[in-house]
A and B are shown apart, each in its own frame.
Chain A
Amino acid sequence: MSSKNSVQRPPVVQPNTGNNIIVNPVQRGNPILECVRNVGKEFGEIVVDYQVGRTTGVLFLSLRYHRLHPEYIHQRIEKMGLAFTLRILLLMCDVSEHQDPIRELTKICLINNITILVAWTPEEAGFYLSTLKQFEHKPPDMIKERQDKDYQSMLRTSLTSISKVNKTDVETLQTSLGNIANVAKASSEQLQNLPGFGQVKVRRLKDAFEKPFRNNA
């Protein structure tokens, strides 16, 4: 009998195998499902709408729906209980009057320890879901302080951190002065003579390089 059963039943993948996003059947027909790319999807009975990781659950809410059924999200949050470490409310911003609902939801979510992510298009929402899954075990190196880069881009980020200085100016500075040390040494007149450098830009540069870091208050 057991063999017969297994033949007839469609192959159901056990939830929590870990490699797929588990989708709550109520989400069937949601356009964002089509936009979840590069990761597998499966349906399963879960308390949230999408389970994208062992400890990560996502509720989905469209603001248009929220406007019609403001009580819905409260029920869902209640059902969710205290499950999951990272609790996310994926908010689809599809109305123009978004300020008040977002404000209200912000408060609710803060009380219930939920993090909000706002998407504006189904593609973006799908992208969030798939990225949440893909990055489940990713170390945070990407957003940590400075990965080593080549000299060019470092120089560019460095000098463009000063306001008014753009990429062309970096090029000019590098070709005419060489390196940061020389830029620091250059006088205002020298800088003024470079093509594209006006008084304001030169002052900004000088401020950044020569003014003391702090006053002695």
Chain B
Amino acid sequence: MSMLLAFHKNILEKIHDPSTNELLLLARGLGMRRIICKLLQIYDSPQSLILLVGASPEEESAIGEELGIMGCKKPGLRIVGFETGKKDRQDLYKKGGLISITSQILTVDMLTSEMPTHLITGILILHAERATPTSPEAFIVRLYREKNKSGFLKAFSDQPEHIISGMSPLRTIMKELQLRTVHIYPRFHQEVIDTLGRDRSSVLQLAIDMTEYMTEIHGAIVQCMTTTLSELKRSNTSLDLDDLNVENAYFRSFDMIVRRQLDTVWHKVGPRTKQLVNDLATLRRLLNYLLSYDALAFHAYLETLIASNTVNDAGNARQNQSPWMLTDAANIIFQYAKRRCYTVTKVAPTVNPQPIHDVDDEDAWAALDEMEGMAAKRPAFPQRAAQRPKWLPDGIEPVLEELPKWSLVAAALQEIEEEMIRRESQLSSRDPGTNTVLIMTSSLRTSQSLNEFLSSMNSDSPPGTEGRKMMESKLRTYFWWKSRLGERKQENKPQGSTHGGPNQNQNQRNNPTSSELGEALKKKDREKQARAASRRRTRGGGPPNAGASRDNPPSAGVPSGPTDGKGPADDSDTIAEFLATQDGDLFLTSVNGGLSQIDFASDFDAFYGLLPAEQTVLIRAYSDDTDELMLAEVQPRYIIMFEPNLDFVRRVEVYKKSNPGLGVRVYLLVYNFSCEEAKYLAGVRREKDAFERLIRERGSMLMPILEERRSESTDSLIKTISSRIAGGRKEINTEPSRVIVDMREFRSSLPSLLHASNLLVVPVTLTVGDYILTPDICVERKSIPDLVSSFNSGRLYTQCELMSVHYKQPILLIEWEEHKSFSLDTVADVKSYAKASNKYPPKKQAAANTDANVSAPTIQSKLVLLTLTFPRVRIIWSSSPYATAQIFNDLKSNNPEPDPLKAITVGAEEDPEVGAGVNTAAEELLRTFPGITSKNVKHVMNKVKSVRELCELSLPAVQEILGVQPGKACYEFIHHGESKR
């Protein structure tokens, strides 16, 4: 169990009292989880009902585990998820104890009174920074306080950076959570300093230069970011965009800042600005990947990026590419990224066509090289060295630059090893700690590749080439991947030259000319050139074995299906074909096995790689407070931080203090002059600023006066005796006004606001509509992105159809978000549409093949078609959920109340499982498959358990569920491109 430090105890003393309510803000890495677990342990008892709200699934399980270690085992923390049935939930609530629950389920259960709200002893809310007037947390607190005034409420947050929105962000949170006390504990809090000490110099920083290419790419990316930023500023001069500098752009929250600045005018900014904002995110990601991905993966990512950027949705060349991609700097990025992987040398087409000879030749060379002992001595430049593998296509020389940090890690490990031996004599077996070396990386991916590197490392090689073996296997996978990319490109262009026939193709295959090796992606015209060139070659100096190969049909082992009949367009095919002829069997396995060929350690939770010396190296990725537990369990003496991480530095501090007498040595690896360092420092500063601001706000904050809970009786009485209601002739209706809301709608903020506006919210599972206001009025709510997507999928049509059948007054509610521009997004598109067809008739021809793009109907025209098709469907245009709540109240006045039981059964005849929880993500995905319509989706969901199960069914089985035609369509979509064996 992790020990509590002095300041932990102080905090606990302040907040443990179950009669007070408060918010605790703690700097990340100082052990928030310890405090929460300790609190839970204190409160744990069968007589109390403690709810933990807002924990992510990982946090839930980690807290549960830690509580188990601390001795709260029976029953410990129980987790309520969407899989938990209604009955089980009720049982759980009755039995009491510690329960972790998602906010959505808690809201629904409180509303349906399945949760005995008045019996709740207390609620712990994690991630309190999320509380806003429209958030589920605020709704929960409102519901809670309505029925229960004595229970406690403790809120926790370790993200001060996120408490920034609005004039007085802290106050908003306090008001929504109905709290009056806040404790703020930054790293510079006196108690924390007293415990942990002032200095942070306990970390040994190892700085290393990036390689030349990396430096170039790094500079180029930063340059692209600067260009994009200044472009953004130039196109939006009216805005206060001072915050937008490259340094801020390193952080993910930057996107939010930009969006917040632009939100109010989002409809006015052109698609160009939107693209610029997206580009910034892409560039930031690139910067991150540059430092953490290996050269090949980085290059592959770049290629994918280009592929998806140059082609539009309809599969045609895109008109408006991201501006940064066209700059010189971008060219540098692409060029150097490739050069880090391999170089291409031109080979004359008259080269010996027989690959076998080639290989023999190589072997001879290899033998020669080996004799001379040259193999390892020329790492920097491409060579026909001993390692040159047989599968490598001609003309490609692998460079395979490795990340400099890899060898640095190797060096650090070496040093640690020596240190261990040195300290061996001084340590007795009773000293704490183990000789495990802990390596922390920023992501699981990095830890995997590092693990791979360490296990395949050749420590005799000179620095920079230790991982050659691993890189080569990666290169091989990369070539295979690239051939797939090429196939895809060809599928997109079925009009490719087919007249060459199999003859030409065969020649090509047996004669892997590499003259057009080069860029993977070419513009159309260059492809044509290549095609023409290869044709000419066939006709002219055809190699002698061409005739022979014509007689041999492609053998079964060669997976050549997709490329048959199409002219080779770029090098990826050549590579693929070369590979196919070289080593049919081996390659086939890699095709069939898909990615499984790239085998990685199967269990990424525990990577143990054994190094020559008897020590264990444990590689983990940074995560949240779970790291603390891990540190406490592993008790490492040596820690290598592969990337700087503020939280983890603090965790190590806490770990050291918790284990007095343990000599911990920490290495921190940083690239010189990289964004890594800047990012780390900026992160420290940002956190400090945020804390200072919050402390200042707390000093000057006007304490929110908790509004009196409405007393229902008086309210409804006023409403019922109102003389406006037919002068009192109508019989007095004491029932409170209620709205029936679909369960799935509780992800949005509208139910919360409806409740706030004195409506009774009744959650049920509806088949038709989202909200039932009166027996006649049924509302389908669509946010703007929803509206667009459900128009595209055709769902809205079906929904309107259903509503029209079952209700007299079907309504489509189009709801904008608060503070976002109240307007349909597509004004600019309307204009361009008009222009394309009117003003520039000559362009029409060019547009003819891209007409899917140009005449893509706008949202407005679809709306028009909807109103024409369903003249009875009304549309409510609501600028925010607040406005919607008002409108709903309007519509409800003087109308009878809806009946929940009736509403449930409407349209649900064919669905036997009414009321069950639904995995919406899976349902959405299922709906997009061809052959599946809103009519049979329920049926499918009853037949198969998950999408994966559907994917594993055979064709007849799918057809049995869906019918012959749709079943075939669906099956073929799922198994697209699989050879029909």
Interface residues in chain A, defined as those with a beta carbon under 8 Å from any beta carbon in chain B? 37, 53, 55-56, 85-86, 88, 91, 93, 98-99, 102-103, 106-107, 109-110, 113-118, 120-121, 123-124, 127-128, 131-132, 135-136, 138, 140, 142-146, 148, 150-158, 161-163, 167-168, 170-172, 174-182, 184-186, 189-190, 192-193, 195-199, 204, 207-217
Contact = CB atoms under 8 A, between A and B. Distances in A.
Contacts of B289: 195-196
B188 interface: no
B919 A86 contact: no
Contact of A217 (B85, B267, B922, B929): B85
A171 B919 contact: no
B572 to A, nearest CB: 10
A163 B869 CA distance: 31
Contact of A117 (B793, B867, B977): B867
B313 A156 contact: yes
A179 B916 contact: no
Interface in B38-82: 82
B948 interface: yes
Interface string B486-505: 00100110000000000000
Contacts of B301: 172, 195-196
A181 B974 contact: yes
B237 interface: no
A153 B811 CA distance: 31
Interchain residue pairs A-B with the least CB separation, the first 8: A145-B794, A195-B301, A184-B951, A86-B871, A217-B85, A158-B928, A213-B941, A208-B921
A86 B864 contact: no
Nearest to A213: B941
8 contacts: A86-B868, A115-B873, A153-B315, A157-B793, A178-B978, A193-B600, A209-B947, A213-B946
B533 to A, nearest CB: 26
Contact of B444 (A116, A150, A161, A199): A199
Contact of B923 (A37, A53, A213): A213
Nearest to B838: A37
B785 to A, nearest CB: 11
Nearest to A87: B871
Contact of A214 (B791, B916, B927): B916
Contact of A124 (B491, B811, B830, B975): B830
Nearest to A203: B57
Contact of A181 (B300, B304, B484, B951): B951
A146 B930 contact: yes
Nearest to B862: A143
Interface string B600-613: 11101000000000
A123 B830 CA distance: 8
Given A140-B869, A189-B604, A210-B946, A120 B887 contact: no
Contacts of B83: 212, 215
Interface string B957-978: 0000000000000000111111
A145 B927 CA distance: 10
A216 to B, nearest CB: 7
Nearest to B87: A217
B105 to A, nearest CB: 11
Contacts of B596: 190
Contact of B883 (A85, A102, A109, A136): A102
Most buried by A among B795, B868, B871, B930: B868
Most buried by B among A55, A121, A152: A152
Contacts of B492: 152
A115 B838 contact: no
Interface stretch (B199-207, B379-387, B456-464, B819-827): B819-827
B829 to A, nearest CB: 10
Contact of B952 (A140, A154, A184): A184
Given A145-B934, A168-B305, A209-B947, A175 B877 contact: no
Contacts of A120: 267, 823-824, 827
B809 interface: yes
A99 to B, nearest CB: 5
B841 interface: no
A151 B308 contact: no
Most buried by A among B598, B602, B811, B974: B974
Contacts of A185: 594, 948, 951-952
B915 interface: yes
A149 to B, nearest CB: 9
Nearest to B938: A213
B946 A211 contact: yes
Interface in B926-940: 926-930, 933-934
Interface residues of B, number: 117
Interface in B290-346: 293, 297-298, 300-301, 304-305, 307-308, 313-315
Nearest to B913: A214
B432 interface: no
Contact of B978 (A144, A181, A196): A181
Contact of B308 (A145, A167, A176, A181): A167
A193 to B, nearest CB: 6
Given A181-B978, A213-B946, A215-B83, 7 more contacts: A55-B871, A98-B879, A110-B874, A162-B921, A172-B304, A181-B975, A215-B917
B19 interface: no
B864 A132 contact: yes
B225 interface: no
Given A128-B860, A143-B865, A146-B794, A213 B876 contact: no
B6 interface: no
Nearest to B449: A193
Nearest to A138: B865
B595 A215 contact: no
A181 B592 CA distance: 13
A36 B890 CA distance: 35
B798 interface: yes
Contacts of A55: 871
A135 B858 CA distance: 13
A153 B947 contact: no
A91 B874 CA distance: 14
Contacts of A204: 921
B922 A209 contact: yes
Contact of A135 (B298, B864, B880): B864
A161 to B, nearest CB: 5
B190 to A, nearest CB: 37
Given A168-B305, A176-B481, A143 B869 contact: yes
A208 B865 contact: no
B797 A143 contact: yes
Contacts of A154: 928, 930, 973
A175 B486 CA distance: 9
Contacts of A178: 484, 594, 976-978
A157 B928 contact: yes
Given A117-B875, A138-B865, A189-B602, A131 B860 contact: yes
A195 B825 CA distance: 32
Given A145-B795, A161-B928, A162-B924, A213 B977 contact: no
Most buried by B among A113, A123, A154, A172: A172
Given A142-B857, A153-B313, A195-B301, A209 B604 contact: no
Contacts of B798: 145
Contacts of A136: 868
B723 interface: no
A124 B300 contact: no
B924 A193 contact: no
A99 B883 contact: yes
Contact of B976 (A37, A146, A151): A151
B866 interface: yes
Contacts of B927: 161
A121 B313 CA distance: 28
Given A181-B978, A215-B84, A158 B797 contact: no
A103 to B, nearest CB: 5
Contacts of A113: 872
B86 interface: yes
